[in-house]
Structure 1
Amino acid sequence: MVKSLRSGNVYPASANVILYTGWPQVRDYDGRTHSSDLTAFGDDYGIKLVKISLSTNAGEVRRDAQSILQAAATTEALMSKSLLLKRRRKLIFEVIPIVYAPNLDGPRIDDGEVEFADSESELFRLLKTSDQSLDPAQRDEVQAIIEGAKALGQLADADDDDELHPIARAYRDLEAIIYNFDASQRSVALTGIQGPQRIRGLAGTGKTVILAMKAALAHIENPNAKILITYYTRSLRDIIERLITRFHRHFAEVDPNWENVHVRHSWGRSNVPGVYRDTCIREGIAFRNFGDVKTKRDPFGSVCRELVEAHPPAPFYDVILVDEGQDFPDSFYQMCFFLAKGPRDQKQIIWAYDELQNVFDVKVREPEQLFGDDRDGAPRISLARSLPPGTDTNDFVLQRAYRNQREILVLAHAMGFGVYKAPVQMLENAKHWEDVGYDVIAGPFTTGSVNVVERPLVNSPSTLATPADVGLIDIRAADDFGSEVEMAAHEIQRFIDGGLHPHEILVVSLDDKAARSYFSALSKTLAACDIPCNNIINDPYSEPPFRLDGKVTLSTVYRAKGNEAAVVIVLGADAAVLETRTGRNKLFVAFTRTKGWLRIFGVRSRTFAALEAEVAKARAKSPRIEFTMPDMTNLNTIQRGLEEKHARIIEARRRMDRMKDELSLSDDDIASLFTEE
């Protein structure tokens, strides 16, 4: 499942061609998996799927021919679902299966359905056969189908009304941008590495989507493998299962086998599956719930540590994917290490995290700390040690944030760090700012220095064309609790009147103590307007779906993590403790849940006035953030944690993206430069 670089060896340097190895993978009606060893797709060449058959036996070569024919037939069927790629009910280009069999004894095979090549020159001739030229929109459509991004478009609600309200039209246009992989996301999602991987990125960079796609692809590749995808926020289960289902249906045209694909909360409950609970059952030991250990400083960490130290579990999963990795204790990672099959450097453990989204004040930890030491004293997991020969990296950084509008993301960072008041946390250095998608404009980043960073549009490319009378961000103080609830209800009604669906609106309470009161009052107010609500904190002992069609979602920050909505309305913002990292992070998480509009409400107070002043200053300086570097010894420093080689790769990618943007170059232009060299 490795996506290759563009080729300059077979095709002319000017050719717009992408090569894939081991891709696509498809499933036939009998459940067998078929894949192409090499797939070439280009504007003027159609799609060529190549199976490399090194056998000398004609029967084995014919079996390979049937396999690549099945892969081609399924690929053609996928393409045929798009009206953009059809003319007179037929595809406008060909999907051609090719078998490369250089060692075949006996006469050349010619069955009329599959092209056969017995030499490199013949293979190159077939690959270079021209076909119908595609325009940019058709090319993007083909690429989205091949790589699975097309499945994401199904997450959006379909609207056939050409006379949409400007609010609804702006949001539908935005979703078309969000639900499309960029080159970095595609590379991470489609790259298969035998061994551990780490994926990091800001909120909205696609980490959950990538993990779900990896789970679906691993299931297609080996339907009998046991695959685990786990998470911290209980409300994430529904969206993860929906994503895996969409990807799996896209490529295999059937639903996943949930007996082998486990979407599990990390802990679980006595009546709800979870990684820890399931492990206890398999190992025949007593399961401990929160009530048993609630007096412990780290309840979940303590039960995982107790299990690992007293009874290391037996290997069970072929692939383990961990979302929201920043929230888990070390002992949970160590439990996952034992649950994963294979030698330590080949264990398929893939974890993703956002070091800026932790609401539990836990520092970023390197793999050596997360997984601990093995019996020989060496780290159980070392990314550098396990990097396969010839592989660039197994430590991926996603810089482009598609979920949030640039102004909102810059605001969220400024508020999360506290740069316009008294910083409570800070990135390690200038390079770390670049890692998360900013350009360094000025400053040495030493204690007391004045520094300026700017978020370029290329790293926040999703732009919402909001109507002139509908501000992207609004912050307002209410006179009292009741007035604040009325303000929220008015905004919800406004967006629904503008064509948004109730389930595209999320209300987040920053005041944990008053959350139930807020949601009870708001639910009653909205019910009078025939707008139902999905209050996900009503039942704290289950994993309710975060989104229910036709209902406004009401959530705390902790339940909202990992989820998103077109509109986010923050209630109780006056309860945010601006002097603490936890208070700042709650603001950051709440703000970055929105794909579109942000509303911030609170009761008039000194705290809320301070919050308003910071928001105003941050917006005035956006897309830049200006700050004086604090004394890092007095702060929580968010560590960069990149090994030097990986850091150089990230820097090279950042500079290439910048050069492409400034010179209006395509990926193929860049590829041709390397080819010519």
Structure 2
Amino acid sequence: MTVTYIPTIGRGEENYDVAQIARKVREGVVYSPEDQVILYAGWPQVKDYSGRTHTADLTVVSNHHGVKLVKFSPSSSSTDLKKDALSILQAAATTEALLGKSLELKKKRKLIFDVVPILFAPNFSGTDIGTDEIELARSEVEIIRLLAESDNELSTEQQAEVQAIIEGAKALGQIGEKDDTDLIDPVARAFNDLEAIIYNFDATQRAVALTSINGPQRIRGLAGTGKTVILAMKAALAHIENPNAKILITYYTRSLRDVIERLITRFHRHFAETDPNWDNIHVRHGWGRSNLPGVYRDTCVREGRSPKSFNDVRGAKNPFGAVCQEIVQSNAISEFYDIILVDEGQDFPDSFYQMCFYLAKGTRDEKQIIWAYDELQNVFDVQVREPELLFGTDSDGQPRISLLRSLPAGTDTNDFVLQRSYRNQREVLVLAHSLGFGVYSDVVQMLENAKHWEDVGYEVISGTFDTGSENVVERPLRNSPSILHSPEGIPIASTRAATDFDQEVSFAVEEIKFFIDHGIAPHQIMVISLDDRVARSYFSRISKDLNNHNIVSNNIIKDTYSEPPFRIDGMVTMSTVYRAKGNEAAVVIVVGADAAVLRTRTGRNKIFVAMTRSKAWLRIMGVNSKTFKQMQREFDTAIENSPRIKFTMPDMNQLNTIQRGLEEKHARILEAKRRMEKMKNELNLSDDDLNSLIEE
């Protein structure tokens, strides 16, 4: 027997009698060894037409016993019991209606199993509770008997469908474009089939989204493991649970706001059938601007302080860290939010986390701060920072946030690791790791040991991971289950070398037109420039050429002072790596790859982030050069070895020392280029003028 237990956000203070029933189910007292059981505490939560919330204290989904919802009623009053009976009946009716939308679960227009509402009333001695549509249990023996009653047997696929609907995965399906007609083109059909897999949102991810812990939580996983989706679902469910609670969900990449708001809306509509109240759910960029709200800016305004802009702290080593540090040290931050959710946690400075600590209500071990962290996507730093470092030390010398210290008794974990990546094709993810680390050239960064590789979803095939050892890891299909059946002759990933800038632009336009002609929507195509210096030139030329084919583009870096939606229906998205983080597309076309700095972590991380935006196809382009030829060699080797990665373990101490020097040099070079560009514009100099000046 397998019992999956999910203590959800709606469980509240657990009643002793309910906890006892849950314990007996988990220990195997109720069900047989062959049963597959999912047990929810405090779920589902639904709203009626009057806006009232109805919740089951326990819900059981079993392959042999259907769906059973239990509500505990401690009262002996028939009036109170009738109220509780109607509430669990409403929860069951709404759940049944949701399940009834799936044809897989119906036969002759009816569900193939019953959704059974049960009222557990151990203190009630009467017989009439005003309705005969629910089952009444007055003792533990009676409720165990009712839970154990068999129903029509569910197949594995049917049980998974029930679970996906109850847990809200079906809300995600509304985001994708669905075509009711047969898709004739095999490219479009392949992507449509892939999206059906991606949007199912696996049981592990949904369990993390539903699980509620009275205290801080960390969620870790690779790109595409669903961290943003999980945080959006948590925000929606918390809002349904307590519509008056102040909820913050914050992010680093400005273009993420539209994505997060759409996700929250989808989940809220799925469970509550209404739109959320945005007065109480704040989707905020970390910093903000004069015309855009942000966590830092909002905090300053509430506390009567003048928020600082980037220009005010331009000279600081970490400008955002500096402004957050200043307000933290001012002791001027008042508690404001009941729940704080942080996406892209790897990109925020420590002082931002400390600001969030003071913004969150409650004692330190009960502060509802949940942060999602991708240890391999940070374009600035590859190291994982532990909570004790992120949040700093309290006045008593203890860490402000300690996951171990705040873990409630009886709770399995508050540090969730997501290993399955649904966004990327296995081939693309292995390729991105290979090039991101530089394993088939000069290694620039590396995971520390075998356990770290396993945490991100790989299996260790061989090797000791000692300095100089030869190691082999492999990504199993179970951790990259989204399989694209690309038509013959259309590779999932490929590179293409151009003779010059003009030909590279032509290659990019050719690829875009090919995919659109084969049924991929323009907004499912993303162009990413790895060359920040000429990104505007790339996008301007590509946009102009696309217009000649009546294809419209959305250049999100065109206006640096706004926060435009990243994806606009009917438009091809064009973005730098930094704006693309956290977003995705069916087709990703990387241009300017010859500008990648392969000797630095920053350069390698940019390649990794660009590649992992792709859900289906990846095209990498650059002008033929020494750098691009090296990238192509690494690309070909990675494809040949996929799904395995083979590497020699570097000396981590030496690697870190070398990389610090290279990164500092790289930063100085970038600053020199910026100043030269500024001087060229101010003095109206040409590139030849500058080259002559340097030669002299």
Q: TM-score, normalised by structure 2?
A: 0.89
Deviations 1:154-177 (CA, angstroms, capped at 9, x unpaired)? 111011221421101111111111
Q: Corresponding residue for 1:550? A: 570
The whole-number CA distance in structure 2 between the counterparts of 1:142 and 1:6 is 20
Q: Corresponding residue for 1:642? A: none
Q: Residue 190 of structure 2 aligns to which amino acid in structure 1? A: A
Q: Corresponding residue for 1:155? A: 175
Q: Would you say the 8 A contact 1:327–1:362 is kept in 2?
A: no
Q: Residue 476 of structure 2 aligns to which amino acid in structure 1? A: P
Q: Would you say the 8 A contact 1:6–1:18 is kept in 2?
A: no
Deviations 1:336-387 (CA, angstroms, capped at 9, x unpaired)? 0000000000000000011110112363211011001111111100001000
Q: Which of 342, 367, 390 in structure 2 is aligned with 1:370?
A: 390
The whole-number CA distance in structure 2 between the counterparts of 1:67 and 1:454 is 50
Q: Corresponding residue for 1:255? A: 275
Larger RCO: 1 or 2 (CA < 8 Å, sep 6+): 1
The whole-number CA distance in structure 2 between the counterparts of 1:616 and 1:86 is 49
Deviations 1:470-500 (CA, angstroms, capped at 9, x unpaired)? 1111101001101001001111111111111
Say which is worse superposed, 35-44 or 284-293, in terms of deviation.
35-44
The whole-number CA distance in structure 2 between the counterparts of 1:65 and 1:111 is 8
Following superposition of structure 1 onto structure 2, how do residues 397-416 of structure 1 map, counting pairs within 5 Å?
A: 397-416=417-436
Q: Residue 199 of structure 2 aligns to which amino acid in structure 1? A: Y
Q: Residue 231 of structure 2 aligns to which amino acid in structure 1? A: L
Q: Corresponding residue for 2:7? A: 2
Q: 1:167 to 1:203 in 2, by over 3 A?
A: same
The whole-number CA distance in structure 1 between the counterparts of 2:467 and 2:306 is 51
Partner SS state of residue 75, structure 2: coil
Q: Would you say the 8 A contact 1:228–1:262 is kept in 2?
A: yes
Q: Residue 453 of structure 2 aligns to which amino acid in structure 1? A: W
Q: Corresponding residue for 1:617? A: 637
Q: Corresponding residue for 1:507? A: 527
Q: Would you say the 8 A contact 2:164–2:203 is kept in 1?
A: no
Q: Would you say the 8 A contact 1:426–1:636 is kept in 2?
A: no
Q: Corresponding residue for 1:635? A: 655
Q: Would you say the 8 A contact 1:7–1:18 is kept in 2?
A: no
Q: Would you say the 8 A contact 1:331–1:371 is kept in 2?
A: yes
Say which is worse superposed, 573-582 or 614-623, in terms of deviation.
614-623
Percent identity between matched residues is 69
Following superposition of structure 1 onto structure 2, how do residues 395-544 of structure 1 map, counting pairs within 5 Å?
A: 395-544=415-564
Q: 1:6 to 1:573 in 2, by over 3 A?
A: farther
The whole-number CA distance in structure 2 between the counterparts of 1:70 and 1:374 is 46
Q: Give 1:203 deviation, angstroms.
A: 0.4
Q: Which of 28, 45, 62 in structure 1 is aligned with 2:48?
A: 28
Root mean square deviation of aligned Cα? 1.5
The whole-number CA distance in structure 2 between the counterparts of 1:164 and 1:209 is 31
Following superposition of structure 1 onto structure 2, how do residues 165-314 of structure 1 map, counting pairs within 5 Å?
A: 165-314=185-334
Deviations 1:596-634 (CA, angstroms, capped at 9, x unpaired)? 000000001111111111111111111111111111112
Following superposition of structure 1 onto structure 2, how do residues 32-51 of structure 1 map, counting pairs within 5 Å?
A: 32-51=52-71
Q: Residue 491 of structure 2 aligns to which amino acid in structure 1? A: G
Q: Would you say the 8 A contact 2:250–2:286 is kept in 1?
A: yes
The whole-number CA distance in structure 2 between the counterparts of 1:350 and 1:135 is 35
Deviations 1:220-257 (CA, angstroms, capped at 9, x unpaired)? 11111000000000000001001110111000010111
The whole-number CA distance in structure 2 between the counterparts of 1:124 and 1:108 is 21
Unaligned runs of 5+ in 2: 1-5, 9-21, 658-696
Q: Give 1:450 deviation, angstroms.
A: 1.1
Q: Residue 25 of structure 1 aligns to which amino acid in structure 2? A: Q
The whole-number CA distance in structure 2 between the counterparts of 1:9 and 1:91 is 28
Q: Give 1:39 deviation, angstroms.
A: 0.8
Correspondence 1:576 to 2:576? no
The whole-number CA distance in structure 2 between the counterparts of 1:210 and 1:414 is 27
Q: Residue 209 of structure 2 aligns to which amino acid in structure 1? A: A
Q: Which of 296, 314, 334 in structure 1 is aligned with 2:354?
A: 334
The whole-number CA distance in structure 2 between the counterparts of 1:520 and 1:462 is 34
Q: 1:251 to 1:139 in 2, by over 3 A?
A: same
Say which is worse superposed, 272-281 or 6-15, in terms of deviation.
6-15
The whole-number CA distance in structure 2 between the counterparts of 1:264 and 1:62 is 43
Deviations 1:82-115 (CA, angstroms, capped at 9, x unpaired)? 2333344433332221100011144453621222
Q: Give 1:9 deviation, angstroms.
A: 2.1
The whole-number CA distance in structure 1 between the counterparts of 2:472 and 2:435 is 15
Q: Give 1:20 deviation, angstroms.
A: 1.3
Partner SS state of residue 533, structure 2: coil
The whole-number CA distance in structure 2 between the counterparts of 1:85 and 1:618 is 43
Deviations 1:114-170 (CA, angstroms, capped at 9, x unpaired)? 221112222122223333333444332221110100111111101122142110111
Q: Give 1:296 deviation, angstroms.
A: 1.2
Q: Would you say the 8 A contact 2:375–2:382 is kept in 1?
A: no
Q: Would you say the 8 A contact 1:7–1:19 is kept in 2?
A: no
The whole-number CA distance in structure 2 between the counterparts of 1:13 and 1:513 is 63
The whole-number CA distance in structure 1 between the counterparts of 2:655 and 2:338 is 40
The whole-number CA distance in structure 2 between the counterparts of 1:135 and 1:445 is 43
Q: Give 1:452 deviation, angstroms.
A: 1.1
Q: Would you say the 8 A contact 2:268–2:274 is kept in 1?
A: yes
Q: Would you say the 8 A contact 1:312–1:335 is kept in 2?
A: no
Q: Which of 619, 627, 630 in structure 2 is aligned with 1:607?
A: 627
Q: Corresponding residue for 1:85? A: 105
Say which is worse superposed, 296-305 or 36-45, in terms of deviation.
36-45
Q: Would you say the 8 A contact 1:80–1:91 is kept in 2?
A: yes
Q: Give 1:74 deviation, angstroms.
A: 1.4
Partner SS state of residue 308, structure 1: helix
Partner SS state of residue 351, structure 1: strand
Deviations 1:10-40 (CA, angstroms, capped at 9, x unpaired)? 1222123322111111122222221101111
Say which is worse superposed, 102-111 or 233-242, in terms of deviation.
102-111
The whole-number CA distance in structure 2 between the counterparts of 1:405 and 1:10 is 41
Q: Would you say the 8 A contact 1:344–1:380 is kept in 2?
A: yes
Q: TM-score, normalised by structure 1?
A: 0.92
Q: 1:294 to 1:217 in 2, by over 3 A?
A: same
Partner SS state of residue 513, structure 1: helix
The whole-number CA distance in structure 2 between the counterparts of 1:221 and 1:13 is 35
Q: Give 1:53 deviation, angstroms.
A: 1.2
Partner SS state of residue 526, structure 2: strand
Partner SS state of residue 568, structure 1: strand
Q: Corresponding residue for 1:118? A: 138
Q: Which of 18, 21, 36 in structure 2 is aligned with 1:16?
A: 36
The whole-number CA distance in structure 2 between the counterparts of 1:427 and 1:176 is 32
The whole-number CA distance in structure 2 between the counterparts of 1:402 and 1:230 is 23
The whole-number CA distance in structure 2 between the counterparts of 1:525 and 1:426 is 41
Partner SS state of residue 200, structure 1: strand
Q: Residue 533 of structure 2 aligns to which amino acid in structure 1? A: K
The whole-number CA distance in structure 1 between the counterparts of 2:631 and 2:151 is 60
The whole-number CA distance in structure 2 between the counterparts of 1:182 and 1:613 is 35
The whole-number CA distance in structure 1 between the counterparts of 2:126 and 2:103 is 44
Unaligned runs of 5+ in 1: 638-677
Q: Residue 330 of structure 2 aligns to which amino acid in structure 1? A: A
Q: Would you say the 8 A contact 2:376–2:382 is kept in 1?
A: no
